[in-house]
Amino acid sequence: MIKESELKALVTLLEDDDEEIISHVEKKLMEIGTGVIPLLEQEWETNFNPLIQRRIEDLIHTLQFELFQERLEDWKVNREDDLLEGLWLVATYQYPDLDLEELRQQVHQLYVEVWREFREDLNPFDQVRVMNSVLFNRFKFRANTKNFHSPANSMVNAVLESKKGNPISLCAVYLLIARKLDLPIYGVNLPNLFILTYRSQQSDFYINVFNKGLIFSKEDIDNYLDHLDIPPQEIFYDPCPNIDIVLRCLRNLIVSFEKLGDYHKSDEIKTVLTKLDDKNIGFP
């Protein structure tokens, strides 16, 4: 690891007007890797030269983006079963210091509140009604229709805090709690809408979390697709893996950043999506 004195010497060179020197310094710092981020942050706080601060900010973002990509690829290969970790990683694009364990605790608290209302003799429909009552009536989780394209709608930490989200993020929170309750609930990819399905030997139905947990049937999906003039496909009815949920969050982020005119961020997320998406499912 680089010594602090060496880092300070390199950072001082960022003030130089020679582009070749700047390029050399940036390359050297990039070679050191993400471990240099804390030292760069410390240097940013103590250095009052606006030019150097801006260049440090750019370097930190580039390094954090590299780390963001590495972590997501590692999650996909080794820990895809941990949905919350995948959602946390998506959120670290905007909140690089976000704590995963703190998120786990927040989800656990919601689970405890739902679990308190559960009884062993509840049928599947009543299980969902209990979930709906606690999340939508008591905690006031709801659709963020006013700011539908806000990037915050795809960040699990922001959704847990504001209790507002888009279809995929609200479904993700609902799904995390359902899994802790050992309920056979899974995500389903529909065009323009993400939903959940309750899939067991006794029951098979769908849940529209964006509409306060409305229960509906396969025939309702048929009608929905017919209204959109989209031919039915298995993907529109069957459970999807965690990676599809994370990929859909990333696609939503691309749309959000493009709506804001922040094409640099949307291009970065597109780069990540290209690396992670093996199926190339196009709809957001």
Report the C-alpha gap between 172 and 154 in whole angstroms. Answer: 10
Per-residue burial over 10-27, b = 16 or more CB atoms within 10 Å of its CB, e = otherwise:
bbeebeeeeeeeeeebbe
Q: What is the tens place of the pLDDT at every residue in 117-127? A: 998 899 999 99
Q: What is the tens place of the pLDDT at every residue in 12-59? A: 777 667 677 777 777 777 777 677 777 778 778 877 778 878 888 888
> What is the pLDDT, as a whole number, of residue 2?
66
**Domain residue ranges in the chain:** 4-78, 83-276
Residues of the chain where predicted confidence (pLDDT) is lower than 50: 283
- pTM summary value: 0.86
Q: If you average pLDDT over every residue of the chain, what do you get?
A: 90
Report the C-alpha gap between 132 and 112 in whole angstroms. Answer: 14
